[in-house]
Structure 1
Amino acid sequence: MISMANKRTGLLAFAAVLATCAATTGHAQAPKVFTIKANEIKAEVAPTMWGLFFEDINQGADGGLYAELVKNRSFEFDVAGMGWKEIKNKDTDGSALYQNRGNANPANRRYVQLKSASGRYGLANEGFKGMGIKQGMQYDFSVLARQHEGSSGSLLVELVDEKGTVIGSTSVKPGSTDWVKYNASFVANATVPKASLNVVLTGKSGMDLDMISLFPKDTWKGRKGGLRADMVQLLADMKPGFFRFPGGCIVEGRTLDERFQWKKTIGNPEDRELIINRWNVEFKHRLSPDYFQSFGLGFFEYFQLCEDIGASPLPILNAGMACQFNTAEVVPLDELQPYIQDALDLVEFANGPATSPWGKKRAEMGHPEPFHMTMIGVGNENWGPQYIERLKVFTKAINDKYPEIKIVNSSGTDPSGDRFDYLDKELRAMNVDIIDEHYYRAPQWFLENAGRYDNYDRKGPKVFAGEYAAQSVRIASPDNKNNWHCAMSEAAFMTGLERNADVVVMASYAPLFAHAEGWQWTPDLIWVDNLRSYGTANYQVQKLFSLNKGTHVIPVLLDNKAVTGQDGYYASATIDRKTNELILKVVNSTGKRQSGAFVIDGAKKVQAKGSLTVISSTNLEAVNSFEAPDTISPKVSSISIKNKRINLDLNPYSVNMVKVKI
């Protein structure tokens, strides 16, 4: 007969075997019980909660979002002929001479003088890492040109593939010795990722050329000289609450001469003064000597884009300080007025009537109605007493004239440390509107800081999580990846942002775009090449939160505490009073399957069916790519809810969202 002690020993051993089997076969353990307080409103979710940060880095504007295919179209790069090369045969007798008219046209000083006495002579433009050309697509060519006295030649325009085969062509014949803009269109007969553009004189002739331009017809909303449609569509699909522009460090510039000046980015494209992009020489591992800003994508286009995608505009202006990592130049306080006037004039440009001086300029560009700007940023990642003393002058001037405009203020480069502590104290003493906090940190930091805002002052300034991205290797490493580990950790952190929506009113991942061959910084939200684009795993997380933010925060509790990483769980919940839905977001940050029972307390009725959206991968190193853009993407299924209880079986390393009518 077996003794009771042996029976107990055997039962314990059997239980251990069952536990081992459950673990090894991936079965979920006994579920933890969470409580959702559906009738306890903790905060309103700002319409601006989830948005976008744009900067012209990684070939984000020229060669990216701005659909112009010709690089150095007006010969204003430091080296006038950069991006261009001669076309000539053995019997060619021709020349190209770059002319500089100096202060006669300071925004567009240079043009090229072409002469051909015999043979085939002209210039070829390489585009931005080549030109992406689509078969059957119309391309619109334009040029400012004038014939030389006594010349009657034409200009042959050709798109050629990498082997020199012509895939589309047209011609223009300048008929004046004065500068005139000429236009022509043609259709490409092949798809080529790296085409180039030839402009060739025919016969014995001579002419001057400037603003040589080529755009695809399929720009966003079909606007001539507009934006690349597939890239904008990825933004529109997120339904962002705001769009921050134009950066980023390019707001500051390496020197004050290289700072972003919004007034130089409006009006006719040929009158916009090109400058060097400060990312041109920033990273030795990614030197980009051909990276300049043409400002074809300028402040008018930024505002227009915001309107198109339904996002509140958030322009950031220079605070009278160059980048402190570079020259750290500052404008003397008694010479700050022009910078302040730029801020005041920008409000008028965005919101003023068409009869006002700057509102009139907006109307002349085709938008008589205001853009309804409600906020403006002063400075980007600036720090120290020099920032505070300049900020105070800006703040008074803006508040005095436009008290309705909220001001976004820099808290420096890091989420902690002496710089942050000083600025946080000073900004709170000033009772500023919004403090812009940045965090580029390891995935573990994001997991450990999901409760960062739980104890922030509810009556103090609001917070803008203005730039954040988990770094898989280290900050600014060229080896950083947009892997699932980073995206999942960001999702966990974002549940903390959402839970504290009474403090955090805006958040945006950064940077936004990167060209596969033209990047300086990784990781990035959206990757593109000359023909394709895709959203990363991080994009999928951002989109999930942005499309499902709800209107009011309600508590999700585990053992009567917020869910901030206990046993690898992270959670937040909102209700959407527009749709009468409960929206629950849960992250399982562990490598094991876990179960959770979410009991809905305080709801009179809960619909029996809801939807479950899951983004997950058992491989933390998994990434999306051009070849497999949906490797990490949401999967949607239906889910049953019984007795106001949502039972979830959570995949390892997963982000989960439940929506149900209540």
Structure 2
Amino acid sequence: MNALKQILMILCCVGYTATALPQPITLTVDVANAEKPVNPTMWGLFFEDINMGADGGLYAELVKNRSFEFFRPMMGWSVLGEAAEGALVVLNRQEQQEANPRFLRVNTEKVGPEGLGLRNEGFRGMGIKEGLRYDFSVMYRQRKPGVTLRMELIDSAGNVIGRGKLAPSKGAQGWQKQSVSFSANATDPKARLAVWFDGKGEIDLDMISLFPEDTWKGRPGGLRADMVQMLADMKPGFLRFPGGCIVEGFDLSQRFQWKKTVGPIENRQMIINRWNFEFGHRPTPDYFQTFGLGFFEYFQLAEDIGAEPLPILNCGMACQFNSAEVVPLEQLDEFVQDALDLIEFANGPVSSTWGRLRADMGHPEPFGLKMIGVGNENWGPQYIERLAVFRRAIKDRYPEIAIVASSGTDPNGERFDYLNGELRKMSIDIIDEHFYRHPDWFFENAGRYDGYDRHGPKVFAGEYAAQSVRIASPDNKNNWLTALSEAAFLTGVERNADVVTLASYAPLFAHVDGWQWTPDLIWVDNLHVYGTPNYYVQKLYSTNKGTHIVPITSDGQPLTGQRGLYTSAVLDKNQGELIIKVVNRAGTAAALGLKLPGIRRLPSNAALIELRSDDPDRANSISEPLAVSPQEKTVKIDRKQPGLEVAPYSFNVFKIKLP
């Protein structure tokens, strides 16, 4: 190769525009040897309650601190009118109601002419829609009957855009729950709820709640439908939950405990969210976990969107970046029992203790759990010791359940090497690898799995996201460059689908006014939702996964960046369709010749789904949600000299019907 050709190739591979197209590259697409199956649940979702992903996000509750359990009991609430001394008092039941000890006592015997009320600010406001019904509910206990509740939705300009009234049932004794519905007559993304107390008397209040009617599947107290729809549209194979670092907690007192997230909503024990205080650059003192979105709802969500549930449980270790607190091995029984009981909750008969609770919550049929994760991003000998205890207990009772284990925080280095070696010695079922790296790393590691052991444990690419600046930087962007680099890396994941059987981007959701971490797959405000370019990359893999790996090579080698090109291919035997994915990171178009041994006759055209932008810094937004989004077209195929052409800076999915 002469010096000029070398220079042109270097320029092409780093993304600069060359003056002439390089010579075509010939791809051999060996459909006849498409024998290795693709895991049908390979491409999935990772959910963690970060960036207001649950409360203020996926969980559709509009009232913040509805049960007065935040560290500051009245956080989110402000007093309306003039409250006499003792008119509003927060009481604590302590041991009588350990999961939900606080409630508010309201006495209206001495009220000024302006009246007495409370206003709730919601989660960065309340997204209210014109013409939509809103369902208000409250738990109350009448100490001196005579108080009625009057609700008002207030827009950001101070106008009343919805009204309702609730009169407690006469003669009701003890704690009661009552509901009333009313509609909004205007739309506002930053509305608030006012609750006025009319009449004379004294009443105790708890679980003050407001939900829109348009929840997912219309479930009362359910999930935000537009956010779930974005997940369903991806046709995900699995849903990993509930995280993420919140599984570990800053210390063990703040770890995620699934048993405290099931059963009646009012009995679920709220805790602080570790992202409340984790980042000095994004403090979020009002970030707590109410667990209205709990383990039952996670399982139900997975079932709704056709995904396998993949719960991750604490292994007796808190976050090693924070407190590094661990439970002594001899005291690990409670943690192991939680894992065994969770499997019973998911799969057990209604005659079992935890299977009966599942049935009582409305799902007598088993959820069909097949996988469980032990620990999240833990490392070191202390993790291996505890994992061994979990593995033995789970496999003894439930040998059919696959165990997912952590390979730590990084995709390489001493920590990774130790864990990878120990997990393979242990014959763990699935090793969870994480990749938070610069886009260059993703481009350079498309061949990562080409040399992996085909007979050892499977791999879960459990958390991946290209960082445009650096890990955990608040300046990271979901731009086209990061998405393109992920698309390139994922050609290597798909090409090695016999080794990498699960893959998911992380984190999943972020609120534009309440995020702690960037980048993220899907962004929302109180009324809108949009997918990033990274979302569309993941979706194109998930919705075009095929059934079998097709070997695709150039000069006998996979394309892992030569001339800026990356390729993978799968065959969908159910649809009779060959799917070829091509990433071009170069600034020039590329021509690809095709050799298709085993295919006697090609159609005259193919479908092309193209995702591209000439600007590597281009990103989607609330105002431009589809700035970088897939475009579908039909391309002609020359049957005598079949080939493909791909645009600069593009991710392309070609779908060719086979006879």
The 5 A counterparts of 1:447-596 are 447-596=443-592
Residue in structure 2 matched with residue 135 of structure 1 by the alignment: 130
Correspondence for 2:107 among 88, 91, 115:
115
Aligned CA distance change for structure 1 residues 27 and 646 (closer, same or farther; 3 Å): farther
Alignment partner, residue 300 of structure 1 = 296
Aligned to 2:266: 270
In the alignment, structure 1 segments of 5+ residues that lack a partner are 1-11, 17-22
C-alpha distance in 2, partners of 1:646/1:382? 49
Question: In the alignment, what sits opposite 1:355?
Answer: 351
Letter of the 1:79 counterpart:
R
Number of aligned residues: 640
Cα shift readout 1:205-238 (whole Å, capped 9, x = no counterpart): 3211100000000000000000000000000000
Range moving further from structure 2, 608-617 or 565-574: 608-617
1:66 paired with 2:59, answer: yes
Question: Which segment is superposed worse, 199-208 or 102-111?
Answer: 199-208
- Work out the CA distance in 1 between the residues paired with 2:17 and 2:328: 67
- Percent identical among aligned pairs is 61
The answer for the alignment partner of 1:103 in structure 2 is 95
Residue type of the alignment partner of 2:495: R
Q: Give me the whole-angstrom Cα distance separating, in 1, the residues matched to 2:316 and 2:86.
A: 48
Q: CA deviation at 1:644?
A: 6.8
Instruction: From 36, 43, 46, give the equivalent of 1:43.
Output: 36
When structure 1 is superposed on structure 2, of 177-186 and 455-464 the one drifting more is 177-186
> Shift of residue 42 of structure 1?
5.1
Residue equivalent to 1:159: 153
State whether residues 118 and 196 of structure 2, in contact with CA within 8 Å, keep that contact through their aligned partners in structure 1. yes
5 Å-filtered alignment, 1:584-623, equals 584-623=580-619
Q: 1:373 aligns with which of 369, 374, 379?
A: 369
Is the radius of gyration larger for structure 1 or structure 2? 1
Helix, strand or coil for the counterpart of 2:275? coil
CA–CA distance in structure 2, aligned partners of residues 480 and 185 of structure 1: 42
Find the aligned partners of 1:430 and 1:42 in 2 and give their Cα distance.
29
The TM-score, its normalising length taken from structure 1, stands at 0.95
Equivalent residue, structure 2, for 1:9: none
Aligned to 2:166: 172
CA distance in 2, matches of 1:384, 1:645: 55
Out of 469-478 and 110-119, give the one that drifted further.
110-119
Where 1:446 maps in the other structure, the secondary structure is helix
1:656 deviates by 0.6
Which of 443, 450, 454 is 2:439 aligned to?
443
On the 8 A contact 1:576/1:582 being kept in 2, the answer is yes
Query: Which moves more between the two structures, 116-125 or 312-321?
Result: 116-125
Contact in 2 for aligned 1:612/1:637 (Cα 8 Å) = yes
Cα gap change, 1:475 to 1:646, in 2 (>3 Å): farther
Hey, what's the Cα distance between the residues in 1 that align with 2:75 and 2:100?
Answer: 16
Counterpart in 1 of 2:12?
none
Q: Encode CA deviations 1:50-72: one digit per residue, 9 max, x unaligned.
A: 10000000000000000000000
Q: Which residue of the other structure, out of 276, 281, 302, is the alignment partner of 1:280?
A: 276
Query: One-letter code of the match for 2:549?
Result: V
| Paired AA for residue 194 in structure 1 | K
- State the SS of the aligned residue for 1:43: coil
Matched to 1:555, the amino acid is P
Moved more, 600-609 or 435-444: 600-609
2:410 equivalent among 407, 414, 427: 414
Residues 586-607 of structure 1, C-alpha deviation per residue, up to 9 Å, x if partnerless? Answer: 0001111221122222123322
Q: How has the CA–CA distance of structure 1 residues 93 and 135 changed in structure 2, closer, same or farther, with 3 Å as cutoff?
A: farther
What code does the residue aligned with 1:556 have? I
Q: Using the alignment, how far apart are the partners of 2:116 and 2:471 within structure 1? A: 48
Residue 542 of structure 2 aligns with an amino acid whose one-letter code is: S
Residues 526 and 539 of structure 1 are in contact (CA less than 8 Å); yes or no, is this contact kept in structure 2?
Answer: yes
Residue 88 in structure 1 maps to residue 81 in structure 2: yes
Secondary structure, in 3 states, of the residue corresponding to 2:211?
strand
**Aligned twin of 1:19:** none
After TM superposition, the structure 1 stretch with the greater mean CA deviation from structure 2, 198-207 or 420-429, is 198-207
1:147 aligns with 2:137: no
Verify the 8 A CA contact 1:609 1:639 in the aligned structure 2: yes
User: Are 1:45 and 1:551, in contact at CA under 8 Å, matched by a contact in 2?
Assistant: yes
Q: Which residue of 2 aligns with 1:364?
A: 360
Secondary structure of the structure 2 residue equivalent to 1:413? coil
Distance 1:644 1:550, change over 3 A: farther
Measure the CA separation in 1 of the matches of 2:426 and 2:410: 20
Partner of 1:255: 251
Paired residue secondary structure (2:276): coil
Cα shift at 1:93: 8.0
Alpha-carbon distance in structure 2 between the residues aligned to 1:273 and 1:584: 49
Q: What whole-Å deviation, never above 9, does each CA across 1:99-130 have from its counterpart, x for those lacking one?
A: 01111000010001112223310111100000
**Residues 69, 127 of structure 1: 8 Å contact kept:** yes
d(CA) in 1 for partners of 2:86, 2:178: 23
CA 1:447–1:644 in structure 2 vs 1: closer, same or farther (change >3 Å)?
farther
Give the secondary-structure state (helix, strand or coil) at the position aligned to 1:78.
coil
In structure 2, the partner of 1:309 is 305
* Offset, 1:645: 5.0
Please name the residue that 1:3 is paired with.
none
TM-score by length of 2: 0.95
Distance 1:168 1:492 in 2: 50
- Alpha-carbon RMSD across the aligned residues, in angstroms, is 1.6
Deviating more after overlay: 533-542 vs 159-168: 159-168
